[in-house]
Amino acid sequence: MENKEIKTVGIAGAGTMGAGIAMVCAQANFKVVLFDINPIVLESAQKSNLTILNKMLETSRIDQNVYNSCLENIIYSSKISELKADLIIEAIIEKADIKISLFQQLIDLNGEETIYATNTSSIPITQIAAGLSLPQNVVGIHFFNPAHIMKLVEVIKGAKTDQNVVNQSVNFVQAIKKQAVIAADAPGFIVNRIARLYYVESLKALEENVSDFQTIDGIMESSGFKMGPFKLMDLIGVDTNYSVTESQFRLFNYEARFRPSRIQKQKVEAGLHGRKTKGGFYNYE
């Protein structure tokens, strides 16, 4: 794939991550189309981004001109036909078959001049790309939550990813004022492989009645972590965190150190997914 200046960015999925990524791109003056099939999710994303912008304006982190341009730079759409861009970033559910189906629709719509990036936390890039007609155009661009604050972004090359696609992805990450790090297409990449044990061991301590979750959070925060594991799971989404743990458990051939927690599974089954459902390990009513 030849080098091409990225001017427009499409985001598929207007949940917490998709909305945040759209905001970051708009701040860097990219034209953004934020797509979701659910109009209610789109409306929620628009309200969330407006709240973030208002807070940034009030605290003088941006000026009125940047505020206005951010509002103008994002189009919210529930029509996949409008998802046309130089770079498309997928931020939907962590299910490989659903991601592959979406990407093929986008490839048919956009063609070979577009870069197709997945924000997956755990699914191998090569596995997603293998089911598509343009595997060389597929790359991982993995943001962290909350996207408008967290600086690190992992760029992951699949087995067939064109090197120019990787280079352009790194340049894009730098253009939105983030820190790009190249990661191998290995289970969990870098951050989630290491961070998984932060969650799993904390949950194991809770399962074994070593301590309650509030105390574990307090100890980790007093040790220098900005957020304890249970507060962080609530922020990310208990369901999302559990899904990534399940995926990594399988990809590491069911190594015991990555075993998902029964407590976390119970939270997911009860619909206690964290902040987004007003309740997870903590109550947010």
Upper half-sphere CA count for residue 257 (Cβ side, 13 Å): 7
Which residue in the list 169, 192, 243, 261 is annotated as catalytic? 192
Which residue in the list 49, 142, 169, 273 is annotated as catalytic? 142
Cβ atoms of 74 and 21 within 8 Å: the answer is: no
Active site residue 137: no
Which residue in the list 49, 73, 110, 121 is annotated as catalytic? 121
Active site residue 49: no
E-strand stretches of the chain: 8-12, 31-35, 74-77, 87-90, 115-118, 138-142, 152-157, 179-183
Tell me the C-alpha distance between 265 and 78, whole Å.
32
Tell me the C-alpha distance between 217 and 206, whole Å.
11
Tell me the C-alpha distance between 134 and 115, whole Å.
10
Task: Map residue 99 onto helix, strand or coil.
Answer: helix
The separation between CA 236 and the C-alpha centre of its own chain, rounded to angstroms, equals 9
**Polymer length in residues for the chain:** 285
Which residue in the list 73, 154, 246, 247 is annotated as catalytic? 154
Structure tokens at 37: 């099939």
Active site residue 5: no
- Residue numbers annotated as active site: 121, 142, 154, 192
